[in-house]
C-alpha cells in the first residue's frame, strides 16, 4: 500500500487550496456559529493508500510557526462531525479551540474516505488585528495523546490551574450563591480541555435537592441532578433549599507541584494547595495546605 494522502475538498469534490473568511469582527463568529464546512479526504478518488490513523487537525502561522496571537491564543475552532459511509462518525457537538499546543483529535480515515470538518473564527472581544493569515494543518500516524504529559488519579480526572489559586468555593449570599473559578487546564476522558477566563458560576435554582456542578468538554460550567457523562468533569456538589445554596463540597482532584531543594529555595506564596516540597537541608516534607504558606507534614 501507498502512504496516506491528506487533502481538503468541497462537497463537490473540488480541492481547496485557500479560503477567504472575509472581514471578521471581534467577539463574533465567522462565517457564523455553524462554521465553514470542509471535507478532509484520505487519497481522494482512490483506495490504494494506507489508512490515516490518529488524525489531528490544528492551525499554524503562514510560516508554519506558532508565534502569531491568533495561533497561540486559539482564535480558531474546529469540530468533526459525520463523513463518508466507510468511517465511524465521531459526531462532535462542540467546537475545539485549536492553535499552539492544542489540536482536534479525529477518528481514523480509511483510504478514499473523508471526515466532515467545520471551522470557524472566534476572536475575543478585544481583538484588534488586520490581515490575519493561517494554515489549516493535519497530522496523522502519530499518538493521539501526549505521553506522560498528565498524571491523574485512578478516576482519570484532573485539573491544573494556570494561577496560584485553583477553584475556591463559597455559598455566597441568600439568592443561590456563587462558586468562583480561575483559568487553567482540565482532563476530561483523556481529552485536554482549556478554560482561559476567570469568574464565578452563579448557582440559580428554585428546586430542592443535591446538585453537581461540572465542567463540560466545551470549557463551560453547568449543574445537574443526574449522572455525568464521560465528557463532563465534576467540580463541586451542593445542596439547595428554596432556591438558596446552603452547602458546597469541593469535589475536584487537581494536580499540584512536587518540588525539592534547599530550605532557602522554597517558593513563596501564592502557592497551589496540595503542593509538596521536600526540604533537602533538613530532610523534611512540607505541604501547602493553603495559598499562603508551608506546613510540616
pLDDT tens, residue by residue, 121-134: 999 998 888 899 99
What confidence tens digit (pLDDT) does each residue in 61-70 have?
A: 998 888 999 9
45 has pLDDT over 50: yes
Asked if pLDDT for residue 146 goes beyond 50, the answer is no
The residue with greater pLDDT, 130 or 185, is: 130
Average pLDDT over residues 93-98: 90
Per DSSP, helices labelled H in the chain are: 69-72
Element (H, E) at 256: none
Helix (H) or strand (E) holding 261: strand 258-261
How many residues are listed for the chain in this entry? 297
Fold for the domain defined by 157-250? Tail fiber receptor-binding protein (2.80.20)
pLDDT value at residue 154:
36
Quote the cell numbers at residue 202: 452563579
Answer yes or no: are the C-beta atoms of 154 and 162 closer than 8 Å. no
Q: Which of 28-32, 116-120, 146-150 has the lowest mean pLDDT?
A: 146-150
Give residue-wise pLDDT tens across range 162-174: 555 555 556 555 4
Q: Which residue has the higher pLDDT, 152 or 33?
A: 33
Query: Where is average pLDDT lowest: 158-167, 181-190, 279-288?
Result: 158-167
| Domain edges within the chain | 6-139, 157-250, 258-296
In this predicted structure, the answer to whether residue 294 has a pLDDT above a threshold of 70 is yes
Torsional sign, CA 90, 91, 94, 97 = positive
Q: What is the pLDDT of residue 72?
A: 87
Mean pLDDT, range 265-286, rounded to an integer: 83
Q: In this prediction, what percent of the chain has a pLDDT beyond 90?
A: 32
101-105, 111-115, 208-212, 247-251, range with the lowest pLDDT? 247-251
Output the pLDDT for position 77.
95
Amino acid at each position: 500500500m501507498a502512504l496516506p494522502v491528506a487533502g481538503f475538498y468541497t462537497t463537490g469534490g473540488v480541492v481547496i487550496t485557500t479560503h477567504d473568511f472575509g472581514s471578521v469582527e471581534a467577539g463574533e463568529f465567522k462565517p457564523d456559529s455553524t462554521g465553514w464546512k470542509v471535507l478532509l479526504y484520505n487519497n481522494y478518488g482512490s483506495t490504494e493508500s494506507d489508512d490515516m490513523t490518529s488524525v489531528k487537525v490544528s492551525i499554524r502561522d503562514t510560516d508554519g510557526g506558532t508565534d502569531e496571537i491568533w495561533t497561540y491564543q486559539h482564535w480558531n475552532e474546529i469540530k468533526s462531525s459525520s463523513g463518508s459511509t466507510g468511517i465511524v462518525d465521531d459526531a462532535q457537538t462542540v467546537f475545539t479551540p485549536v492553535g499552539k499546543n492544542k489540536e482536534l483529535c479525529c477518528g481514523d480515515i480509511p483510504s478514499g474516505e473523508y471526515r466532515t470538518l467545520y471551522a470557524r473564527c472566534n476572536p475575543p472581544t478585544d481583538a484588534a488585528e488586520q490581515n490575519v493569515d493561517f494554515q489549516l494543518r493535519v497530522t496523522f500516524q502519530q499518538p493521539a495523546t501526549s505521553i506522560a504529559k498528565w498524571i491523574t488519579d485512578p478516576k482519570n480526572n484532573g485539573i491544573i490551574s494556570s494561577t496560584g489559586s485553583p477553584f475556591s468555593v463559597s455559598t455566597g449570599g441568600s439568592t443561590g450563591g456563587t462558586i468562583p473559578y480561575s483559568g487553567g487546564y482540565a482532563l476530561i476522558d483523556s481529552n485536554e480541555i482549556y478554560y482561559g477566563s476567570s469568574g464565578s458560576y452563579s448557582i440559580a435554582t428554585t428546586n430542592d435537592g443535591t446538585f453537581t456542578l461540572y465542567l463540560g468538554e466545551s470549557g463551560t460550567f453547568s449543574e445537574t441532578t443526574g449522572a455525568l457523562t464521560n465528557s463532563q468533569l465534576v467540580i463541586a456538589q451542593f445542596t439547595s433549599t428554596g432556591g438558596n445554596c446552603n452547602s458546597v463540597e469541593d469535589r475536584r482532584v487537581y494536580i499540584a507541584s512536587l518540588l525539592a531543594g534547599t530550605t532557602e529555595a522554597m517558593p513563596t506564596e501564592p502557592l497551589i494547595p496540595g503542593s509538596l516540597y521536600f526540604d533537602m537541608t533538613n530532610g523534611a516534607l512540607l505541604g501547602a495546605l493553603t495559598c499562603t504558606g508551608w506546613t510540616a507534614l
